[in-house]
Amino acid sequence: MLPADWTPHRRDDGELLGWIRPEGEDWVAVDLLGREASTAVDWLEAEEALETGGLSWLAELWMLERGDAAPLRVKLVEVTPARGREAGRVVVQTDDFGAIDAPVGRFELTWPAPAELRMRRPGEATTSPFG
């Protein structure tokens, strides 16, 4: 459930970019994955943090850490924040590298997104496992 003191922040077209939550006398930007997108800053800086990030980062490649196994290269398929008493969720799918017949796996994660889901580092997992 989203805390009552989180204020939604939207683009000019109404698309949700995240939330701004209070922290003492300051504010913290929170992205759509439920992660902090800024430190404690003034309101305008929190807005700027969300607007600068925009939504394009959602289309980036991500990595899903799996303990003893190599991390999986994944894409975000769904991000649904908690609503009311309903738990939120983040759904990721293994990257198919553009192959039509590539097998893909889907994983449903909690919201806020767990630390095991992280952005891909430059040069990481750039080759296709499909040959």
Q: What is the pLDDT of residue 127?
A: 47
Contacts of 2 (CB under 8 A, 6+ apart): 19, 81, 82, 83
Q: How confident is the model at residue 125 (pLDDT cuts 50, 70, 90)?
A: low
User: Which letter does DSSP use for residue 59 in this model?
Assistant: G
What are the structure tokens assigned to 116, written together? 């095991």
Assess whether 64 and 114 both reside in one domain: yes
Do 90 and 66 fall into the same domain? yes
Query: Are 53 and 64 in the same domain?
Result: no
Task: Report the pLDDT value the prediction gives residue 114, as an integer from 0 to 100.
Answer: 97
Place of tokens 């398929």: 77
Q: Domain total for the chain?
A: 2
Q: Taking 70 as the threshold, does the pLDDT of residue 128 lie above it?
A: no
The answer to whether residues 49 and 27 belong to one domain is: yes
Which comes out higher in pLDDT, residue 128 or 18?
A: 18
Task: Answer yes or no: are the C-beta atoms of 97 and 103 closer than 8 Å.
Answer: no
Digit-coded pLDDT (tens) for 51-73: 998 999 999 999 999 888 888 99
68 falls within a domain: yes
CA distance 79 to 23: 25
Helix (H, G, I), strand (E, B), or coil: what is residue 19? strand
